[in-house]
Structure 1
Amino acid sequence: MGTPELALLCLPCAGASATMYLRWRRLVPQWLRIVPVELPGRGARMGEDFVEDFDALVARLCTEQAAALQGRFALFGHSMGALLAWGIARRLHDERRALPRALLVSGSAAPSCRDPDRFADRNDDRALIADLRRQGGTPEEAFASEELMRITLDVLAADYRICESFGQRERPPLPLPIHVFAGRDDDIDAARVEAWSREATHAVTLDWFDGGHFFLRHGEGAFLEALSRRIAPGAVVPGGRHAAPSLV
């Protein structure tokens, strides 16, 4: 009997489209089906208006992805995508709908520990370009193309407004496992990353990687191996309320 398939819905980071996950389809095990989730205003949905409110975007994604949010599925997001993945899991729980087998988050502070000043003074092209260069995830050809840079900056500005609209509030932990991935050289404070341990009643794992905010791109092979291992059928999840962090 074959390994049962698991659909992994992948939410993009700020300024990006779902195409950032397409190459994963040929790099992960056959039992893992990568489902890139495109947001309005970019990629294949470029003709649509941006949705710049966090709660409104989460509600819309839950409706649009209703068919995919059933059966054997998990949620993954990087940076802003991690917050959206958490928001989707939160909404599914609140509506008493089927929950993902696991929530996987990368390059993100926990929802309860986000930096309120993270997006201050990021309201013009010069500041946005500086942010893109600092994080190191944008290919140089994008900076060299006026058209590509205009598209990227418009998407990034809209996504930063999504993040700014997120309202931090105390919420009970989710009844599912959370797997956290982070870069050792990311500028997100480690304590903010480790605070994901308070977001679940099940075990929370934490894998650290060499690299900055886009460690998952620069060390893609090691990252995807760890991601697959965490959600593989029959994988042993450390017991208890909080799992001990593991190092990769």
Structure 2
Amino acid sequence: MNAQWLYRRPSPAARLRLFCLPYAGGGSSIYSRWQGDFPEDIEVCAVELPGRRARLREPPIRRAAALVEAIAEGVAPFLDLPFVFFGHSMGALLAFELARHLRRVGRQGPCALFVSAAAAPHLPRSRKLLWRLGDAEFLSEIRGYGGTPEEVFSEPDLRALFLPVLRADFEVFDTYEFEDDGPLACPLHVYGGRDDERATPGQLRAWGELASHLESVELFPGGHFYLHEQRPALTAAVARELAAFVPGRR
């Protein structure tokens, strides 16, 4: 019943699960090559949000709190092993709020939290609210972000398919309001692109104000979607940190 929330390659040797949350408009396919970058005792679980791939007919969820609660319910059967969260851009916000949600409801939280290409969520926002824009202006703004296949803009059928999901995801982000309920206790690792104007080094370091243990802030060559070009370096960095949390490793 809950399997539609995750794409994973089950491994009998798995001792820890890495849950990966997508950026706005993205799906589980973002992380389709990640499992090959990790040893077999780490199982990569790519989260699939409503409105994508096999869930195409499901309406996307437009508010962060509701989406986080739905994700928590969807992945609950897979929290039987130690686990960590990784999120890129909007996915970083969801990963952060998911960890806080588990704490609020008294459930075991992640061993560590990995956030990527996202300004700390308590910082003031300066950009326009994209989800309220007309289609032409909205798509123009999205194109400026990079990361979205050009076919989405040039092919009407594909554009009609992706536009509702993109709008819903930006509505999640634009309507989000940070509420302070104390720092997270789990270790926090922050990653970003050196040329990312939407998540500057200062905005990345500010995540340290939301966690008791900011372990690292690491920058890679590239912009907001550096995780594609720099995937091997990024997954190697994550794998190094995960080694400390895999039970049974020496």
Could you say whether these structures have the same fold, taking a TM-score greater than 0.5 normalized by the shorter chain as the test?
A: yes
The percent of aligned pairs where both chains have the same amino acid is: 37
Q: State how far apart, in whole Å, the 2-side matches of 1:101 and 1:122 are.
A: 37
- 1:135-192 deviation digits (Å, cap 9, x = unpaired): 2212233333222222222211000111122112223101100111101111123222
**Does residue 207 of the first structure (1) align with residue 218 of the second (2)?**
yes
Instruction: Report the residue type matching 2:41 in the other structure.
Output: W
| Change in 2 beyond 3 A, CA 1:234/1:68 | closer
Residue identity in the other structure for 1:170: D
The 5-angstrom pairing of residues 98-247 of structure 1 reads: 98-115=108-125, 117-120=127-130, 123-188=133-198, 189-233=200-244
Query: 2:99: which partner in 1?
Result: 89
After superposing the two structures, state which structure 1 stretch, 202-211 or 173-182, moved more.
Answer: 202-211
Question: What's the counterpart of residue 53 of structure 1?
Answer: 63
Give the equivalent residue in structure 1 for 2:5: none
CA distance in 2, matches of 1:148, 1:60: 27
Checking the alignment, whether the CA contact within 8 Å between 2:85 and 2:110 is kept in structure 1 is: yes
Aligned match of 1:244: none
Give CA-to-partner distance per residue, 1:36-92, whole Å, 9 cap, x none: 111112222111111101111111111111112332111111100110010110010
Stretches of structure 1 that go unaligned for 5 or more consecutive residues are 236-248
SS at match of 1:30: coil
Residue matched to 1:74 = 84
TM-score by length of 1: 0.87
Shift of 1:6: 1.5
Distance 1:81 1:32, change over 3 A: same
Number of equivalent positions: 234
How far off its partner does 1:202 sit? 2.1
Alignment partner, residue 31 of structure 1? 41
Please state how far the C-alpha of 1:3 moved relative to its aligned partner.
8.0
Gaps of 5+ in 2: 1-11
* Contact 2:37/2:236 (8 A) holds in 1: no
Alpha-carbon distance, 1:15 to partner: 0.8
Q: Which residue of 2 aligns with 1:246?
A: none
Alpha-carbon distance in structure 1 between the residues aligned to 2:201 and 2:194: 8
Give the conservation status (yes or no) of the 8 Å contact 1:121–1:127: no
Tell me if the contact between 2:18 and 2:85 (Cα under 8 Å) persists in the aligned partners.
Answer: yes
User: 3-state SS of the aligned residue for 2:213?
Assistant: coil
Check the 8 A contact 1:128/1:156 in 2, yes or no.
no
User: Do the aligned partners of 2:183 and 2:209 also contact (CA within 8 Å) in 1?
Assistant: yes
Distance 1:128 1:225 in 2: 35
TM-score, normalising length from structure 2?
A: 0.86
Select between 137-146 and 45-54 the one with higher mean Cα deviation.
Answer: 137-146
Alpha-carbon contact 2:193-2:220 (below 8 Å) kept = yes
Seen in structure 2, the aligned counterparts of structure 1 residues 187 and 105 have a Cα distance that, compared at 3 Å, is: same
1:65 paired residue number? 75
State the secondary structure of the residue aligned to 1:176.
Answer: strand
Task: Identify if the C-alpha distance between structure 1 residues 146 and 10 changes in structure 2 by more than 3 Å, giving closer, same or farther.
Answer: same
Distance 1:116 1:183, change over 3 A: same
